[in-house]
Structure 1
């Protein structure tokens, strides 16, 4: 399939291998590993997520990014749609998030200067 690579072991080598039963149960004596072409980048991002410098930033994700999507679902009608087609759904999503951004900007201006 597109975006995936298949790696297969050579049958003639695996047929005589003593570790075949631990490696695969294939009747054709072949180990097959399917891997997405971007899997290395996913693994690297997951590794960096657990780094000490990144943990505090990643912890704020639930307060910022995830909160925006939750508000879009609950308060702005992103849970269901009556529209059909990618173009119409994209338009609805862009208008919804533009409205959310305008609300944020309005809240920032109404709060006034912060005291030190």
Structure 2
């Protein structure tokens, strides 16, 4: 019986994509990820729930950016 030959194609950047995937399982990254959940993610969750960042009242990048900056400025004053 004849064996079928398979060709596996890899993207040119596949090796570069594997590096962060390997780093994800290091102790240093896990510690950083735990800290990130407590600080950064908490800040955005707070903005969504307490400061109405789920929906915007403005249209356009400039106006929405202005609303976001004012919201986060008030959050900084609050902390």
Q: Give TM-score scaled by structure 1 length.
A: 0.53
Query: How far apart are residue 90 of structure 1 and its match?
Result: 0.5
Residue 111 of structure 1 corresponds to: none
Residue 59 of structure 1 corresponds to: 34
Structure 1: which 4+ aligned runs deviate by more than 6 Å? none
2:78 aligned with 1:103:
yes
2:5 aligned with 1:19:
yes
Cα separation, 1, equivalents of 2:72 and 2:43: 9
Q: CA RMSD in A?
A: 2.5
Say whether the 8 Å CA contact 1:49–1:58 is kept in structure 2.
no
Structure 2 unaligned blocks of 5 or more: none
Cα separation, 2, equivalents of 1:45 and 1:61: 17
Residue 88 of structure 1 corresponds to: 63
Structure 1 unaligned blocks of 5 or more: 1-17, 25-30, 105-116
Q: Give TM-score scaled by structure 2 length.
A: 0.73
- In structure 2, relative to structure 1, the CA distance for the partners of 1:51 and 1:96 (3 Å cut) is same
Cα separation, 1, equivalents of 2:37 and 2:56: 25
Aligned residues: 75
Which of the two has greater helix per residue?
2
